[in-house]
Amino acid sequence: MPPDFAQDSSAIDAALLQRLGSDPQLLALMPNGVHFGLAPPKSTAYVLVSLITADDTTGLGGRFFETVNYLVKAVERTAGSQQNVRAAAQRIDALLEHQQLTIDGYGCLEVRRVHRIRYPETDERDTSIRWDHRGGQYEVMTAPADAPGGGGKKPKPAST
């Protein structure tokens, strides 16, 4: 029977959130925290992480590589001037670009920014309020730790 290299893909999400959410410098800039999908109501300065795409490459009877693309952005409510959003976007990049994530069950092969994002948004209820968004689309390339090349560990032997 061929080996099964599939792991829990949500561990990749968790590692990204852990990296960002445990950084005191980023949290000082974005005090409402780091969130996946949606920020809590009344948040005014936060980091938002969203899954864009997740591609699997299979081989040897299992999932061999996973490449996950995330939108990672600082979001800040401003009344005309950008305060911390620029510095937060720079900090996000420093934490992720070409850095290794510690992912349960996986080896991290590479993290890189593939697109930069920056745009303002006018508040729907009060047009004097702006929301500034800055960050990027980051690609996280992984391999299950027990797959060949997945974090330096050898694959588990196939059962006979």
Go through 49-59 and write b for each residue having 16 or more CB atoms within 10 A of its CB, e for each that does not: beeeeeeeeee
CATH classification number, 10-144, choose in 3.40.50.20, 3.40.50.300, 3.30.2000.30, 3.90.420.10: 3.30.2000.30
The mean pLDDT value for 10-34 works out to 97
pLDDT at position 32 over 90: yes
CA torsion 136→96→22→53, rounded to 10°? 60
Highest average pLDDT, of 9-23, 72-86, 136-150, comes from 9-23
Cross-strand pairs, 48? 35, 73
Cβ atoms < 10 Å from Cβ of 98: 9
The per-residue pLDDT for 154 is: 36
The per-residue pLDDT for 47 is: 98
The mean pLDDT value for 100-116 works out to 94
Contact 113, 96 (CB under 8 A): yes
Higher pLDDT, 125 or 15: 15
Measuring CA to CA, which residue among 63, 68, 88, 76 is closest to residue 131? Answer: 76
The per-residue pLDDT for 144 is: 84
The mean pLDDT value for 103-120 works out to 94
The mean pLDDT value for 49-78 works out to 88
pLDDT at position 102 over 70: yes
